[in-house]
Amino acid sequence: MNKSESKYFNTALRMNEALLAILEKKDFEYITIKEICEKAGVNRSTFYLHYQNTRELLDESIINIHRKFFDYFKETCQDFSISREIKNNAPENLVFINEKYLKPYFEFVSEHRRLYKTAFLKQSTFQTEESFHMLFKTIFNPILAYFDYPESERIYVIKFYISGIMAIVTEWIENDCRESIEQIINIMKKCIFANNN
């Protein structure tokens, strides 16, 4: 990346961060380009060099959040592969609700709790439904197929689990992540496996 590209990228990043900071206090529909520019320390012409409107900036911000999470997950779980896990494990040993996979997720959420609190409160703005469909296609569907769930039932099963997981995560964030990650994982396991041990 040359100096010009680096400057362009850093300016875009500042505008991303400015938008997310303002979103904590205001609904997206009421955020103006002027506010974003003031918060980011750029002028309107700079904004229009990068984006046509605030929706474009929001779309980029969402992409960056997802990319940041998946990069973090890949870095902390380098050996993770759904197909490899399925191939190398008997069904009774194939468990994805465990510390190995959940800990990196909760670490990321805790570190970015401000952002997630905003995202959960404003789910339509953050397009959580689109994210869910991506996760369903790439992760959950292959797992359920492996366990011979009928295709027509898979979306219901996953929606059930995801809703429960999201409720736990949302409550944890509302409590400012006071409980340890280990406590939250244990609560989640008890709920999913109906195991009080």
What is the distance in angstroms between the CA of the first residue and the CA of the last residue of the chain?
53
Phi, psi of 53 (to 5 degrees): -160, 180
Higher pLDDT, 143 or 84: 143
SS3 197: coil
**Under a CB-based contact definition with an 8 Å cutoff, are residues 86 and 143 in contact?**
yes
For the chain, what is the largest distance between any 2 Cα atoms, rounded to a whole number of angstroms? 60
What pLDDT is attached to residue 182? 92
Least confidently predicted of 16-20, 92-96, 100-104: 92-96
Enter the DSSP assignment of 132: H
- pLDDT for 24 equals 81
Buried b (16+ CB within 10 A) or exposed e, 161-197: eeeebeeebeebbeeebeeebeebbeebbeeeeeeee
Structure tokens at 155: 């979306």
pLDDT the model gives residue 61: 84
Count of residues in the chain: 197
Tokens standing for residue 56 = 């474009």
Q: In this predicted structure, what is the pLDDT of residue 196?
A: 46
pTM as predicted: 0.65
Residue 95 pLDDT grade (very low, low, confident, very high; cuts 50, 70, 90): low
CATH 1.10.357.10 fits 1-61, yes or no: yes
51 within 8 A of 18, measured Cβ to Cβ: no
41, burial (CB in 10 Å: exposed 0-12, middle 13-18, buried 19+): exposed
Residue type, 25: K
Sketch the domain layout of the chain as residue ranges.
Answer: 1-61, 77-197
Cα(22)–Cα(14) distance, integer angstroms: 12
**In terms of pLDDT, which residue wins out, 132 or 114?**
114
Segment of 83-87, 102-106, 152-156 carrying the highest mean pLDDT: 152-156
Which of 4, 185, 3, 163 has its CA nearest to residue 95? 185
pLDDT of residue 197: 47
Average pLDDT, whole number, for the chain? 79
